[in-house]
Structure 1
Amino acid sequence: MHNITIGALRGLLLVTGLGLATAGAAQAQAPDASKFITNKRHYMFPQRDAESPAVQNVTKNTDEDADVNGTYTRLAYRPYAQMLTEIDELRRLHTWADTTYQRRLAALPAGGALQVTIRRKGPGSANLSNLVITATDKAGQEVFKIVPPATPGRFFGRDLYQAQGLIALPKLEPQDLKVRVGDAKLYLAFEYVVAVPPVPAP
């Protein structure tokens, strides 16, 4: 059972009300991520994200140095089962009518969602549309490529601006995906391993 926080519930309520960015929406606009240099700062062993255990951080994307130099890039994964649990809790808290619940339920992405957070120097650099997110399977075949919609950053502190968004994923087979987040402003790419769990039967 996933722990449910008020912040997570509010986030899901906002997401289900406004809709998620879809995985296939911007494939044609994706820049050539192969030209991005992979962040040279690597962990000796991939580090599991403290709040999103399905994600392992391969390159050093969220440490103090990344926060200072404006390369902070955090990827979290919210499985379908977790989002379903949260929407059931929202139904209980808000006493939704059945039609409202069904509408919210239908809006949940079958493959769960990626939550992306970046902190960059200067307001123009912190925009999710600068990113291209590519996932490949164990055989190296591309599973999806996403350019998030424009999501301008807000002032975070010092000279940093933060942008954050949720990206809906299609239904995926249970597997470990290598996910590469490239930034067209920095010409850097950050790497992760995301463990996709089975989607529970309805």
Structure 2
Amino acid sequence: MNQTLNRRRLLTTAALGGVVGATGLGSLAPEAAFAAEAATVEPGAPDPNFAEGRITKISGHMLLVTGSDLVLHSIRITDGTSIWKLNPTTFDQVAVGDGLYARGVRLPDGTLAADSVWVNIVNLHAHIASVGRNVLHLDHQGRRIVAHVVPGRSAAVYNGTPAISDMSLLRVGRHVQVLGAWHPDTNEISIATVYAAA
């Protein structure tokens, strides 16, 4: 049996009340949210196993999400769903108003049984406008973003080297890519990883 069928069977079992170990079905790293899914999706067609948007309602273990294209998604959180909100976390940390990306398997009723959910995740390409104590002020497409360094969590990757907690090589004017968690309805984020040239 191929991996897609195994994954579908495991998620269907979890959605119907079975137990599947969290993160057993894929990476929860924030980079995985933006990775192309190795599926047989026609170029330009929507991925049926992906959903994004803002949470408008939570009922039991179901999330009602309004996509940026105004499509409504029903997302089931199962025993095997892995949840990221700057760190791996639990379902009780998810709130109405949060944004999310979710990957999983579509059930016959159209519900997405999620294997991974990234809450408030952002992926920004920006320039550093200023550097302060535990904060970067970023210029992102003409908008100012306040990016908070979270001690013990935020990391920097310089020229593709392994991630380190030292942010001292970040310089004003440099281009950076920042993965992090958005603070809903603000221009602020918490930094997971900053990618920069040293």
Instruction: Compute the TM-score of the two structures, normalised by the length of structure 2.
Output: 0.25
Larger radius of gyration: 2
Larger relative contact order (Cα-Cα within 8 Å, sequence gap ≥ 6): 1
Higher strand share: 2
